[in-house]
């Protein structure tokens, strides 16, 4: 089962249909909407978890909450984001790309 992010910010288990539907951008969104979403989430530190995160993303993009959540789920389905264990979502592309783990020191 695929993990998706629900309206309340929690994680929900979904059927394979969610994976298939998640591969296409949410209906009614444009490439510009997706780019504005990325820029807005980057501007708040890459995580979208609380009301304090949602409000600036909604204001910057002009998108309603349900569309923001749908785009977040789309980003998770395309591996451009991950669902956080503590709830919410983290963008993992561009400036939000996680730093690679340091290499283990070589044995002498």
Q: Is residue 82 assigned to a domain?
A: yes
Closest CA to 19 of 86, 98, 93, 79: 79
Within a domain: residue 17? no
**Nearest one of 58, 53, 73, 62 to 7, comparing CA atoms:** 73
pLDDT band at 106 (very low <50, low <70, confident <90, very high): confident
**pTM: predicted TM-score of the whole model, two decimal places:** 0.75
Which carries the bigger pLDDT value, residue 60 or residue 8? 60
- 73, HSE (Cβ side, Cα atoms, 13 Å): 28
**pLDDT at residue 19 greater than cutoff 70:** no
Distance, in Å, from the CA atom of 79 to the CA atom of 73, rounded to the nearest integer, reads 10
CATH number for the domain including 77?
Answer: 1.10.10
H helix intervals, the chain: 16-22, 31-43, 51-61, 65-77
Within a domain: residue 107? no
Q: What percent of the chain has pLDDT over 90?
A: 66
Chain segment 34-61, per-residue pLDDT in tens: 999 999 999 999 999 999 999 999 999 9
């Amino acid at each position: 089962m695929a993990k998706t992010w629900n309206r309340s910010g929690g994680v929900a288990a979904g059927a394979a249909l969610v994976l298939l539907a998640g591969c296409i951008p949410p209906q009614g969104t444009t490439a510009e909407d997706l780019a504005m979403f990325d820029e807005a989430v980057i501007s708040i530190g890459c995580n979208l978890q609380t009301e304090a995160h949602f409000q600036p993303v909604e204001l910057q993009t002009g998108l309603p909450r349900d569309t923001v959540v749908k785009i977040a789920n789309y980003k998770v389905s395309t591996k451009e984001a991950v669902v956080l264990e503590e709830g919410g979502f983290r963008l993992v592309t561009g400036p939000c790309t996680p730093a690679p783990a340091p290499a283990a020191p070589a044995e002498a």
